[in-house]
Structure 1
Amino acid sequence: MTTNELPEVNVISMIDTVNLQTIQQTMQKISSFQAIVQKTLKPNHDYGIIPGTGTKPTLLKPGAEKILMLFGLTSEFEEIERVQDYENGFFAFTIKCILSKNGLKVTEGVGHANTREKKYAKQDPYSIANTILKMAKKRSLIDATLTVAALSEIFTQDLEDDIEGTPVEQSIAQNRQYTDTSGTITQKQAKRMFALANGDNDLVKNIIGKYGYEHSTDVKKTDYEKICNEIETATQADLPEFLKSEGEE
């Protein structure tokens, strides 16, 4: 072997250098953490199965942010590549997300998005350039989170938007299975929720958000009574304490 050649490393020699007991303990910790994550994250809000993508749940941005909080990690973003072709209406961004703890780099992820993706084909590229940039950032964040938390076997990459550009949380909500009471609530029913909350818009938004809804008119009839009960309970309770407890979940 010449001085420029590197010694050959095979699997057996690698195994000989590691402590198998330590590896077993580490794998047990990873499994325990994965169980905690699955228990902590909320379905159809932090993660969910996107229609047409199989049975593996997709990790969403709110879920990724919660995982980073569990680890005590901070994120920062670097722009790797930017294409802004105003003449031809093409915009593309490649972003790197760096996760750190106490100022030390832990891992990183990469995300890319561009206006020629199928989901953006029907939209004006000049008006969604900033959306493309945000999408690339979200994808890099999800990529880094899945890596640092060893969650790739549980979740898949964040797709964020469906073909028509609808937020993926809404696609997930629309794909739920409903009974003969399927459909969204009426305006009269939506007004009742605000009446129960004594006109507190933030309270209503906070509670319907737990069910994966952004607007009161999106609420499905199957969730309506449960939401009303929560609103009524929260209104009767000490409201600041209620909101505080929700934030700690």
Structure 2
Amino acid sequence: MSENTAISVIDSVDIQEVTGTMAKIGQFQQVVQKQLRQNLDYGVIPGTQKPTLLKPGAEKILMLLGLRSEFEIIDSTRDFTAGFFQYQVRCKLFKGSVLITEGLGAANNRERKWIKQDPFTIDNTVLKMARKRSMTDAALTVGSLSDIFTQDLEDLDLEGEKVSTTRRYATDQDGTISKAQAKRMFAIAKGDADTVKAAIGEKGYEKTSDIKKTDYDGICARIETLLVNPPEEEKPEKEEDKPVDGDGVTAEDVANIFKNDTPAQE
């Protein structure tokens, strides 16, 4: 693509629409990170930088997006003489009848995990692995999740690499919110610092820099609620409504009362 062509493509983009889309992608990534569980939906292979998305996790992502999958074997080898089996599978994701994206996956019985096994007993396992890899590839693409998970070594749930049960993967939901997220809260509150202060105070925070990412969505929702239904301000008590404190009356006060009640001499 030439530089002029690239510029023309950028010029044709609706920046506000792109900004909204990017915000939705970020929100969806946060939902995924909250819903998926380590060692069930994703796992950590020792020596890798990102967690590996597992089959249950990929299925949950498709469910969250309301997508259905279709699989197609685009290439295969089943050589019973040489004992070699390989499959290449395409996974198509649909929203209704509309094709959204595709993913590809391949597997063969000469991969390191199966090299010592009887090749004639794992033909179906190799096919399932290729199928699963294609679905994971498609799920990561459609959910824009490649910066969070990897699919290069996603073999943990099919008797492949062993998952680490001791190392906890720190997702983006760990730690405190960013400055950009803090600014977004004030934007939601339309610049009303008192509303932000009230919302974070209900969660026990005094400063936005202390807010945990796990509380961020709830606070934003609370800010929106407070804008619609602001809390009623406490009205100061009128002087006549204040209760009389007997302990506060002095001897001088009593003397003045009786002095005023003494009838005038004729």
Q: Do both proteins adopt the same fold according to a TM-score greater than 0.5, normalized to the shorter chain?
A: yes
| Map of 1:194 onto structure 2 | none
Q: 1:85 aligns with which of 67, 73, 79?
A: 79
Structure 2 Cα separation of the partners of residues 128 and 90 of structure 1: 10
Relative to the length of structure 1, the TM-score reads 0.63
Structure 2 Cα separation of the partners of residues 121 and 172 of structure 1: 20
Q: Which amino acid aligns with 1:64?
A: A
Q: Which amino acid aligns with 1:46?
A: D
Aligned in 2, Cα 1:56/1:137: closer, same or farther, shift over 3 Å? same
Alignment of 1:166 onto 2:173:
no
Alignment of 1:70 onto 2:70:
no
Relative to the length of structure 2, the TM-score reads 0.59
| Map of 1:133 onto structure 2 | 127
Aligned in 2, Cα 1:16/1:176: closer, same or farther, shift over 3 Å? closer
Contact 1:51 1:175 in 2 (8 A): no
Structure 2 Cα separation of the partners of residues 126 and 175 of structure 1: 35
Aligned in 2, Cα 1:95/1:29: closer, same or farther, shift over 3 Å? same
| Map of 1:149 onto structure 2 | 143
1:96-154: CA deviations, max 9, x gaps?
11111112211110100001111111111110000000000000000000011110011
Q: Which amino acid aligns with 2:163?
A: I
Q: Which amino acid aligns with 1:32?
A: Q
1:206-229: CA deviations, max 9, x gaps?
xxxxxxxxxxxxxxxxxxxxxxxx
SS at match of 1:22: helix
SS at match of 2:117: coil
Aligned in 2, Cα 1:116/1:137: closer, same or farther, shift over 3 Å? same
SS at match of 1:56: coil
CA displacement at 1:161 relative to structure 2: 3.2
Structure 2 Cα separation of the partners of residues 42 and 174 of structure 1: 12
Structure 2 Cα separation of the partners of residues 173 and 7 of structure 1: 46
Contact 2:54 2:136 in 1 (8 A): yes
Structure 1 Cα separation of the partners of residues 94 and 3 of structure 2: 34
% identical equivalent positions: 55
Alignment of 1:40 onto 2:40:
no
| Map of 2:111 onto structure 1 | 117
1:168-220: CA deviations, max 9, x gaps?
5xx2254548xxxxxxxxxxxxxxxxxxxxxxxxxxxxxxxxxxxxxxxxxxx
CA RMSD of aligned residues (A): 2.1
Aligned in 2, Cα 1:8/1:158: closer, same or farther, shift over 3 Å? closer
Alignment of 1:27 onto 2:22:
yes
Structure 2 Cα separation of the partners of residues 59 and 31 of structure 1: 18
| Map of 2:253 onto structure 1 | none
Structure 1: gaps (5+ residues): 1-5, 178-249
| Map of 2:93 onto structure 1 | 99
| Map of 2:8 onto structure 1 | 13
SS at match of 2:93: strand
- How many residues matched? 167
Map 1:46-61 → 2, pairs under 5 A: 46-52=41-47, 54-61=48-55
Structure 2: gaps (5+ residues): 169-266
Contact 2:113 2:160 in 1 (8 A): no
Q: Which amino acid aligns with 2:117?
A: Q
